[in-house]
Structure 1
Amino acid sequence: MNIQSIVVAGAGTMGSSMAQIFAGYYDNVVIYNHREVTLNKAKQRIQDNVQTLVQVGTMTQTQAQRLLGALSYTTEWDCFSSCDLVVENLAENLPIKQAFYEKISQVVKPSTIIATNTSGLSINILAQSVRGAHRFIGMHWFNPPHLIPLIEIIKGDATDDNTAQTIYDLSLKINKKPVVVHRDVPGFVANRLQFAVLREALDLVQSGVISKEGIDDVMKYGLGFRYACLGPLEVSDFGGLDTFYHISSYLMKDLCNSGDVPELMKQHYDAGEYGVKSGAGFYDYSGDKAQQATKERDEKFLKLYHALYE
């Protein structure tokens, strides 16, 4: 399928960042949101991101102007009538997404691909609200989308191969690292791995084995450093499957296998401490600490990306 026109539905942090990436490679990218104020925030956010890229030398001023010129913003539904691809990035709420698909199915062309950026809702369940489920697919980006290379492409039972191949090729075109998830499972793949690690990490902190700072350092300076270059199966091959086999024989039975929300996470959730967005989580983000932490995170991501992929 030939993708020329793209609409990103939802102008939040994720949606605006995704649209920014698309606009670097496509001339007709529209950001849709039902609230004008959200669109204005998205426009400012993209302009700030692009200006930062110019300042650090990642993007020229000419490239920045072309990218910003490729973007348009609207609250009107007619933007969907002629597009080739819709990437939905609405609230992670099943009824909201279902209502959107039921309405949009009556507006878009029969050939338009409809993709969702859901991070865990079932592709098969969402597809039930789409007219022409063969053209529906998961396209899961990672925060912040303009910096993280990975995109998970999740096929539902009804998704045809042509749709999956088109989104895979598009992901390569926008300089991302796509992987195809062949079967719809809860959490897909990346979140299953992430939460398996998080469960063990919180269990070790809760039981007094290590501090929260210590567990984060183990990941950043050990496992994370290694996993930035090698996947877990490659690490096993380099370490020796015989060694990993013997460690597995006694360690697997001792790992946390609770099916409950980790207690430490529940305590922060009940206290209304949601992390950076609320000013407190496992760490303190009061005052300007959240802004500074985000800035430092993005700078590190950029350095890592340039070191490994450019």
Structure 2
Amino acid sequence: MAIENIVIAGAGTMGYSMAQIFARYNYHVTIYDLKEEALETAKKRIKENTQILLQENEITNDQEKEIHQHLKYTTDLKCFENCDLVVESIIENVEIKQNFYKQISKIVKEETILATNTSGISINTLASAVYKPERFIGMHWFNPSHLILLIEIIKGDQTLESVAQTIKELSLHIGKKPVIVQKDVLGFAANRIQFAVLREALYLVEQGVISKEDIDSVMKYGLGFRYACLGPLEVADFGGLDTFYHISDYLMKDLCNDTQIPSELAKLYDEGHYGVKSQQGFYDYHEGKDHEAIKHRDDQLLKLYNALYK
């Protein structure tokens, strides 16, 4: 299933980042959004990002020009008529996404693959709104998408294997590390693991076992450092399955198994504190600390990326 023309639906952070990556690998990419101002912001951000790549000698002047030549921006639904792939990255709302697919799946060619970048909404639920749902699939990217290699490919009950393999090959071609999630479960694989860690981390903080700063240090300088090189099952193999068996015997029953939203997370949400985006979360990001935090994150990830994968 040849992919040449791609439409990214949604010009937000993930949308324009994905578009830039596809364009860098010579795909013809159109960014679609309802709002012209969102497209202008996307165009500005992509220009800034390509300038950084140019300064870091990641791309040449000619390659920078080619990236921009491969990109188009539009609010016109006609852009969907002749594309080979749609990657949707609009608001995380089931009803809005379903309405989008009801409309778009009748506009695109019958063989066009439709992919959603949802972080955890059921693929089957979204597929129920799709004409010819066998060509519908999850393609979950991670932020910042220019540095995080993982892409989760999530099959719905009706997704054709050929569609899954096409998206896998496409992901490999753009330098990513794809995994196929064979069954549609909420949160897929990565977010289920991430939220299991978050639940236990917040439980330990709320119980006064450890401070929020130190629980982050546990992950950054211990578990996270190790997990950058080994997966959890590999860690267990190296640690000895007999050891992990015996630890499991007493520890599993003592771990947090609460099914409610962690109280500290709920409290911050109710107060309108959403993290970096609102300049206040578990930590304070006022007075320019938000930009500093983003730069520090990207610098650290880039160093790790260069050390392990470049």
With structure 2 as the length reference, what TM-score do the two structures score?
Answer: 0.99
Shift of 1:68: 1.6
SS at match of 2:106: coil
On the 8 A contact 1:9/1:87 being kept in 2, the answer is yes
Question: Superposition pairs for residues 29-44 of structure 1, below 5 Å?
Answer: 29-44=29-44
Q: Which residue of 2 aligns with 1:146?
A: 146
Question: Superposition pairs for residues 11-160 of structure 1, below 5 Å?
Answer: 11-160=11-160
* 2: CA distance, partners of 1:61 / 1:45: 18
Q: Work out the percentage of aligned pairs sharing the same amino acid.
A: 63
1:299 aligns with 2:293: no
SS at match of 1:264: helix
With structure 1 as the length reference, what TM-score do the two structures score?
Answer: 0.99
On the 8 A contact 1:5/1:28 being kept in 2, the answer is yes
On the 8 A contact 2:6/2:27 being kept in 1, the answer is no
SS at match of 2:7: strand
* 1: CA distance, partners of 2:121 / 2:267: 25
Aligned residue pair count:
310
Task: Supply the AA of the counterpart residue of 2:23.
Answer: A
Q: Which residue of 2 aligns with 1:226?
A: 226
CA deviations 1:204-238 (Å, max 9, x no partner) are 01111111110001100100000000000000000
> 5+ unaligned residues in a row in structure 1: which ranges?
none
1:262 aligns with 2:281: no
Cα root mean square deviation, aligned: 0.7
> 5+ unaligned residues in a row in structure 2: which ranges?
none
Q: Which residue of 2 aligns with 1:309?
A: 309
SS at match of 2:298: helix
Q: Which residue of 2 aligns with 1:179?
A: 179
CA deviations 1:181-209 (Å, max 9, x no partner) are 00000100000000000000000011111
CA deviations 1:242-293 (Å, max 9, x no partner) are 1111111111111100000001101111111000000100000112111111
Question: Superposition pairs for residues 207-286 of structure 1, below 5 Å?
Answer: 207-286=207-286
On the 8 A contact 2:205/2:211 being kept in 1, the answer is yes
* 2: CA distance, partners of 1:44 / 1:9: 17
Q: Which residue of 2 aligns with 1:7?
A: 7
On the 8 A contact 1:5/1:26 being kept in 2, the answer is no
CA deviations 1:166-190 (Å, max 9, x no partner) are 0000000000000000000010000
CA deviations 1:131-170 (Å, max 9, x no partner) are 0001000000001111110000000000000100000000
* 2: CA distance, partners of 1:121 / 1:276: 23
SS at match of 1:6: strand
